[in-house]
Chain A
Amino acid sequence: MWTAVLVAGVGCYLLKLAGLSLPERVLSHPTVERVADLIPVALLAALVAVQVFSGGTSLTVDARVLGLGFAVVALLLRAPFLVVVVGASVVAALARLV
């Protein structure tokens, strides 16, 4: 785990430094820009799906889905980040009590 933490930490710093140091034309190809814009979208969407609907290597549906439902409503109402996250936990925890 420490290896992953340090490798990813140093790697992320180098990615930032590369951006400030490289001449702009190196990465200014439209395809590169499109892919780079879409990567966060794809990864975050996949992370949402995997976090909510999977347990290890199987697909599951449990109280986390209700937490996600709360998050969607809260985001639609433009609630702050902490309300979204804490509210989702509270909803899931309450659902497990019932």
Chain B
Amino acid sequence: MSDAPLSPDERAGIVRDGLAVGIATGAYGVGFGAVSVASGLSVAQTCVLSLLMFTGASQFALAGVVAAGGAPLSGAATALLLGTRNTLYGLRMAPLLRWRGWRRAAAAHVLIDESTAMAVNRGTTAAARLGFLTTGLAVFVLWNVATAIGAFAGEAVGDPRTFGLDAAVGAAFLALLWPRLADRRNVLVGVLAAAVALSVVPLTAPGVPVLAAGGVAVLVGVLGTGGDPTEVPGPDDVAGGHR
């Protein structure tokens, strides 16, 4: 890892890319805000999720489980399971970013799909840090503003079924899943997980089927062979994978 300083052109390019990803991702924060309120969370709870949890798929998962009638804590468990992928991103990013102390603690908050994607392929620590920070901060600010807008709009709508907001939740999850379906093994796991979840819907409390499907991942992962590298998102995968 070299420590060469960045040229002004490189700098401007990295900042521009980060801001563009921030805007694209922020736009779907509106979707999260509306879906979360439609799921039964208050505007305040919705905004706190975006400020504190700040990892889109986990936030959608918590809202989704609650919307299906699940206990809030099974929603929290699902959100935490989805959050484990950020731990793997962190392992990959740590030697690249090389931050210590409070900087590392602060950087951890904006360690998400997008900031990882825009930093992981940079050649130097300076470029990785700049890509990580501009993307992370741009997404953080715009995601939170957009969440608040979506939440107030969702509240104004009232019954989520009126504008088909209940259908938006499934579509949002599919869009988050989509970039991962390029891999055939993932398609198999996805189909299996969906089948397991639906088959236990009539037997268990809402929220449990999704957690049961997590068991499919564990089972296939343990029984599987071949050490594939961790799937870290690349620049093409950000903002739902289809900018």
Question: Which residues does A use to contact B, with CB under 8 Å?
Answer: 1-13, 15-22, 24, 27-28, 30-31, 33-54, 56-59, 63-64, 66-68, 70-72, 75, 78-82, 84-96
Chain A contacts for B75, CB-based, 8 A: 4, 8
By Cβ-Cβ distance, the 9 closest A-B pairs, closest first, are A19-B90, A67-B167, A92-B164, A46-B213, A35-B221, A4-B72, A92-B167, A88-B171, A9-B52
**Is B202 a contact partner of A34 (Cβ separation < 8 A)?**
no
Question: Which residues does B use to contact A, with CB under 8 Å?
Answer: 24, 27-28, 30-31, 35, 40-42, 45, 48-49, 52-55, 57-58, 60-62, 64-69, 72-73, 75-76, 78-91, 93-95, 97, 99, 104-105, 107-109, 111-112, 161-178, 180, 186, 189-198, 201-202, 204-206, 209-210, 212-214, 216-218, 220-222, 224, 226-231, 239-240, 242-243
Q: A34-B228, A37-B228 are in contact. Are A85 and B172 (CB under 8 A)?
A: yes
Residue in contact with B202 in the complex, picked from A30, A44, A59, A85, CB distance below 8 Å? A59
A76 to chain B, nearest CB (A): 9
Q: Which of A47, A54, A93 has the most chain B CB atoms closer than 10 A to its own CB? A: A47
**Is B174 a contact partner of A35 (Cβ separation < 8 A)?**
no
6 contacts between A and B (CB under 8 A): A5-B53, A20-B108, A21-B90, A35-B217, A46-B210, A56-B68
Specify the main secondary structure of chain A where it touches its partner: helix
Chain B contacts for A94, CB-based, 8 A: 164
**Is A42 a contact partner of B82 (Cβ separation < 8 A)?**
no
A-B pair number, CB within 8 angstroms = 354
Chain A contacts for B60, CB-based, 8 A: 47
Question: Can you name 14 extra interface pairs (CB under 8 A) apart from A12-B54, A16-B87, A42-B190?
Answer: A15-B83, A16-B55, A20-B107, A21-B94, A28-B91, A30-B227, A36-B88, A39-B82, A45-B191, A52-B170, A57-B69, A80-B242, A81-B31, A81-B242
